Chains A and B, each alone.
Chain A
């Protein structure tokens, strides 16, 4: 077999097959998971596409399962390193060659990677993420939640830590599941504001105003901790978004360089903004433009647009960090600590204690994932399912 020549950075541990298989056997919340994917119907389940990435990067699409047991067996037998979830089709994936085989339902999904924010982070780069740059993810969660709820009227929304470098968002509402390709395209583009879209002096769309309100909850602190205006390049990177003549911008820059701290330099921008209001400058929206450029959610639009795009399943395990992709509450996003999520290793370590706890339990409650480290995230998930099925 082909040897994989991956080089792991120091914080990456490859998860062994044995550890994975015991996770799937004992901690993976299979019952609610299956309930969700088939919406309590085994026939629907059998039309849902699964994709497994196995050892040595062997990648298989269009798997489908007709029951919980079958999926359970497949997990244990193949120990997938990655599980992706696709659409529910009109036929079982076994009949995917039929000429009218097509997507029928698919949760609306969003995928955000912190590595897309490297130009506005000084603390980490690429896949790394820490408490200092997490506010960017907080902003994403809040903007998405607000937009999906108030504008589009969706209610059943799940946010999931993607295991390493970002977040996923799943919308379970039936209307969301049944959106067609064109509708997904429209929604995705609605949720993709760019700095270029902010003109120099017009009314801002309600969606953009709302996003800016959320940004403002974090802005000053983020600016300061990241020290975004600490260097000359930093100042330039902001000035780039000001639509005024270079001579004016150079003048501003000189004024800023007389100060040392990011916050003092930012106050120059604010002062200029006040002057702009009195029509001194043509561009009156540069503050808004900068904030959008730095903090507006950078969603991977292809994922949201696609009807059959695959996305990593909640509760799967990141093959390098061993972290479980846990759901979390949007309201608690600020205190979410991505270095403190359950990992296959921590679950193992605390296993003995947990065994004692579940000995006293009966029936469903004797499942390990209803207790200990997994408890909270499983509860978020099952609460949402209850909401889905109570309709």
Chain B
């Protein structure tokens, strides 16, 4: 059932696979060494083991150096394509030669886990294909149940109440409550008085979801994007379009963290997630008043590819009181950052209010962070917004 609920949502799928893999790793480690041997016999991996006699001279030295040991010749080694032991390559803890990794027996688990992970992914992908067909017959019975599983994270609506952000409060909010990705856009706008196309759309979509009234968004655009000869003429339609007041659509939904993390901003574009794309992250954080002790922690998380975790830490570092509760904050979306911050600063945050229920809820969602290993295609929603953007861009070029 869970597998069904998750197979259609890339983010949820990652989360699911990671948990399954952890469980598998745990079970495997618990196995007795006899059990492991039996497991390898049964699974017929056809591993290429290395003759003991081969481990002499240069090879022996290399194996010792790469694993930082002195006992290479006493161990059993296997030669495995490096692509199948990704983690060991990432950690640079094995010797690689001509595309083959030399893996000692105790590290074989990485190989097994890798196999398990790709099986898991393949299986879910197959399931997703069958899903649509199957669902036609199950509209009434299964679909609502499945939706309620998945909704908690992926489809949640992160819009705030109308009027939460206004043109009058934006400068204060910028210092206290706006997410880093939006601060970065505002910083660039302040310097250049202009933003590239993607940046503008991201900003407007954020405004809309943060409850900024349309008039305020227009006024903000006209008074701040002054590098353009006639911002009023140039952008009125676009802003209204994002707000769903032109073009007959629902407007543009606010962009989520995964879109921003996967964005490919080129020089002069600022619409990405600063934890992933900002080359000068430390300086940036300093400018935003983050304490020096926290900067390193945040940077470390960002360097390790845990961008949203870095964002959680940023939140923690820029909000006061009740530290143990700040630890439980998980940011799910730029607009969710804004909402949580707003609530926190006004004492309305649910973590501050209801003690235990909120805690367990936050604990549950906090296991969610993008996996290091999976690259997935854009979700349908992201693709739509992408095409939207390009469509607009084409228009733009003809002007």
0 or 1 for each of A167-185: is its CB under 8 Å from B? (1 = yes): 0000000010001111101
Determine whether the beta carbon of A2 is less than 8 Å from that of B227. yes
Contacting residue for B87 out of A54, A186, A204, CB 8 A? A186
- Write out the residue numbers on chain A whose beta carbons fall within 8 Å of the beta carbon of B98: 150-151, 153
Q: Complex: how many Å from CA A57 to CA B92? A: 40
Q: Complex: how many Å from CA A102 to CA B66? A: 36
Kindly report which residue of chain B lies nearest to residue A116, judged by CB atoms. Answer: B279
* Shortest distance from the beta carbon of B357 to any chain A beta carbon, whole Å: 37
Of B149-157, B158-166, B378-386, the one contacting chain A is B378-386
Q: Which chain A residues in 132-152 approach chain B with CB under 8 Å?
A: 150-152
Q: Which chain A residues in 49-89 approach chain B with CB under 8 Å?
A: 53-54, 57-62
Kindly report which residue of chain A lies nearest to residue B387, judged by CB atoms. Answer: A97
Q: Complex: how many Å from CA A110 to CA B240? A: 41
B53 contacts the other chain (CB 8 A)? no
Determine whether the beta carbon of B227 is less than 8 Å from that of A185. no
Contacting residue for B96 out of A2, A60, A151, CB 8 A? A151
Kindly report which residue of chain B lies nearest to residue A310, judged by CB atoms. Answer: B264
Of B41-49, B316-324, B334-342, B367-375, the one contacting chain A is B367-375
Contacting residue for B375 out of A1, A202, A307, CB 8 A? A307
Determine whether the beta carbon of B266 is less than 8 Å from that of A59. yes
Determine whether the beta carbon of B372 is less than 8 Å from that of A185. yes
Kindly report which residue of chain B lies nearest to residue A61, judged by CB atoms. Answer: B390
- Write out the residue numbers on chain B whose beta carbons fall within 8 Å of the beta carbon of A59: 196-197, 266, 269
Determine whether the beta carbon of B194 is less than 8 Å from that of A2. yes
Determine whether the beta carbon of B89 is less than 8 Å from that of A190. yes
Q: Complex: how many Å from CA A152 to CA B229? A: 54
- Write out the residue numbers on chain B whose beta carbons fall within 8 Å of the beta carbon of A57: 196, 268
Number of interface residues of B (CB under 8 A): 49
Q: A97-B384, A308-B264 are in contact. Are A179 and B83 (CB under 8 A)?
A: yes
B276 contacts the other chain (CB 8 A)? yes
Determine whether the beta carbon of A5 is less than 8 Å from that of B380. no
Interface residues on A, range: 35 or more
- Write out the residue numbers on chain B whose beta carbons fall within 8 Å of the beta carbon of A62: 390
A309 contacts the other chain (CB 8 A)? yes
Q: Which chain A residues in 186-224 approach chain B with CB under 8 Å?
A: 186-187, 189-190, 193, 197, 202-207, 209
Q: Which chain B residues in 66-115 approach chain A with CB under 8 Å?
A: 66, 68-69, 82-83, 86-87, 89-92, 95-100
Q: Complex: how many Å from CA A204 to CA B95? A: 11
Q: A2-B227, A59-B266 are in contact. Are A186 and B97 (CB under 8 A)?
A: no
A240 contacts the other chain (CB 8 A)? no
Determine whether the beta carbon of B99 is less than 8 Å from that of A185. no
Q: Which chain A residues in 217-256 approach chain B with CB under 8 Å?
A: none
Determine whether the beta carbon of A186 is less than 8 Å from that of B86. yes
- Write out the residue numbers on chain B whose beta carbons fall within 8 Å of the beta carbon of A3: 229
B65 contacts the other chain (CB 8 A)? yes
A96 contacts the other chain (CB 8 A)? yes
Using CB atoms and an 8 Å cutoff, list the residues of chain B in contact with chain A: 62, 64-66, 68-69, 82-83, 86-87, 89-92, 95-100, 194, 196-197, 227-229, 264, 266, 268-269, 276-277, 305, 372-375, 377-378, 380, 383-384, 386-387, 390, 393, 396-397, 399
Using CB atoms and an 8 Å cutoff, list the residues of chain A in contact with chain B: 1-3, 5, 53-54, 57-62, 96-97, 99-103, 150-154, 175, 179-183, 185-187, 189-190, 193, 197, 202-207, 209, 302, 306-310
Between-chain CB contacts (< 8 Å), 12 pairs: A59-B266, A152-B82, A182-B375, A186-B83, A187-B89, A189-B90, A193-B92, A205-B92, A206-B66, A207-B92, A306-B264, A310-B266
Minimum-distance CB pairs A-B, first 5? A181-B375, A153-B99, A102-B377, A186-B89, A186-B86
